[in-house]
Amino acid sequence: MHHLSTILVALVALLHVWILILEMFLWTKPQGLKAFRNTPEKAALTRVLAANQGLYNGFLAAGLFWSLVHPDPVMAFQLKAFFLGCVIVAALYGALSVSRRILIIQGLPAFIALAITLAFANPYMAVAPVSG
C-alpha cells in the first residue's frame, strides 16, 4: 500500500503540473478556454491572474515531488501530508469561490492520496519488530 500512496501523490503532483501549464501557457488558447469554461474576452482580462495562480499550482507540485524523493521517510511523510493538505484547502476555497468542479478535480484526488498515505504509508504507525 505504500506504493499506492507514492503513485497517488505522484498523480496529484502531475495534475498540478498540468494545471500550471493550463493556467500559465494555455489560458487564452482553445484548450485553456475549454478547461476553464472561459470566453476569450474574459481570458484576456484575467491572463496575468491565471498565470500567478498557475505558479502557485507549480509550487504545490514541486512540494509533492519533493516528498517523493526526500531520503528521510518521516520527513517525506510530513511533506506529503502538508502539501496534500494545502491542495485540499485550495480546492475547498476554489469550490466555495469559483466552482464546485474544483473540489472534485483537485480536492478529491488529494483527499484520496492523503487518506491512503495516512493509513498505509505513515512511519509513525509502523510496528516495531519484536525482539526476543
What's the pLDDT at 130? 59
State how far the Cα of 84 lies from the Cα of 30, in Å rounded to an integer: 30
The rounded percent of the chain whose pLDDT value lies above 90 is: 90
Q: What is the pLDDT of residues 99-127, one digit of tens each?
A: 999 999 999 999 999 999 999 999 988 65
> Which residues have C-beta within 8 Å of that of residue 23, sequence separation ≥ 6?
32, 50, 51, 53, 54, 57
Q: Counting Cβ atoms within 10 Å, is residue 56 exposed (0-12), middle (13-18) or buried (19+)?
A: middle
CB distance 90 to 106 below 8 Å:
yes
Q: What is the pLDDT of residues 17-51, one digit of tens each?
A: 999 999 999 999 999 999 999 999 999 999 999 99
State how far the Cα of 28 lies from the Cα of 49, in Å rounded to an integer: 12
CB distance 88 to 110 below 8 Å:
yes
Residue 132 has pLDDT above 60, yes or no: no
Give how far Cα 23 sits from Cα of 20, 31, 66, 72, 112, Å: 5, 10, 22, 33, 24
Question: 3-state DSSP call for residue 77?
Answer: helix
- The pTM for the full model equals 0.91
